[in-house]
Each structure stands twice: as C-alpha cells, then as structure tokens.
Amino acid sequence: MRKHETSAIDIGQRLKAIRKRLQVQQKDMAAAMKVASSYLSEIENGKGNPGPEFFVRLAAEYPINLHYLLMGVGDMLVDEDGKAKKQNIDLDAPVETIDQMTRLIEDSVYVRSVVMTCINKTLFEEKALIKENIKKKKTKEEADS
C-alpha cells in the first residue's frame, strides 16, 4: 500500500472515532445519512464498502475532514471557518462535468479505487464486445488505407 492509502478497516475506524468525538450515536448518524444502522456498523468495522455519495452526504451533514477520514491526514474535524463545514451539496445532482469528476478522483484515494473497480469490472464483463469493436475498427482502418 502506498503512503497515505488506507483500507476500509482504517476508514471505518476513523469514522467511528469521528462519530464518537462528535458525540453522535450510530443510529442517529445512520438516520442522518439515510442508511441502516447495520450498514453504518459494517462500514465502521471495515466490512462495508460505501460509494462516493456516502462520503459526500457525510461531509454535507457533519463537519468532517474527508481528507482525514479517507487518508488519515490532517485534523479529524474542520472548524467553523473550514471549507468542509456543512457544505451545501445537492446530493441528488449528478456529476455533470469532467472537472467535477476529476476533482473527486484527484481528492480521494477511495474515489479513485471505486472508479478503477468499476472500470475493471466493466472491462472484464464486456471483454468480448470490446475485442469485437477493436477488430471492427482495425478492419475499417485497413479498408480505408
């Protein structure tokens, strides 16, 4: 594992520590996050695999430093002047620009991991179709030349 990259267990342990520091019960955080308490428990125990929207919602609901949560770097919480404090994020809005997606990928090892997992899964599942498209493209290029 590279420096600052962490496992789901590390993220879960940090999330639990943050929740306790905020003095929020697991059931209350789960309700605010619109997830089941059992799911939040799985995350805290390193068994759950939340998607990027979970972290966006978490940062919108609580003054959490996501850089700390995901990578273990910096302060656990942000202060009143921190940019992450109760951000106004539209959780239902899709990521509409390449810049937005790029920032998410650049800022989080976890998001990079999720994106790469999705890409790898798609490549594996669509392997035959991809090979067929590559073959068609080569055939077309050969015919054009």
pLDDT in tens, 83-122: 433 334 344 455 556 666 677 666 666 666 667 776 777 7
Closest to 58 (Cα-Cα) out of 97, 92, 85: 85
Are 84 and 18 members of one domain? yes
Residue 18: how many other CB atoms lie within 10 Å: 21
Are 70 and 111 members of one domain? no
pTM assigned to the model: 0.54
Residue 111: how many other CB atoms lie within 10 Å: 20
* pLDDT winner (highest mean) among 33-42, 71-80, 83-92, 134-143: 33-42
Are 2 and 49 members of one domain? yes
Are 116 and 72 members of one domain? no
Amino acid at 142: E
Where does residue 101 rank: exposed (0-12), middle (13-18), buried (19+ CB within 10 A)? middle
Domain residues for 3? 1-89
Are 1 and 15 members of one domain? yes
Task: Identify the three-state secondary structure at position 77.
Answer: strand
Are 6 and 39 members of one domain? yes
Domains contained in the chain, number: 2
Are 84 and 136 members of one domain? no
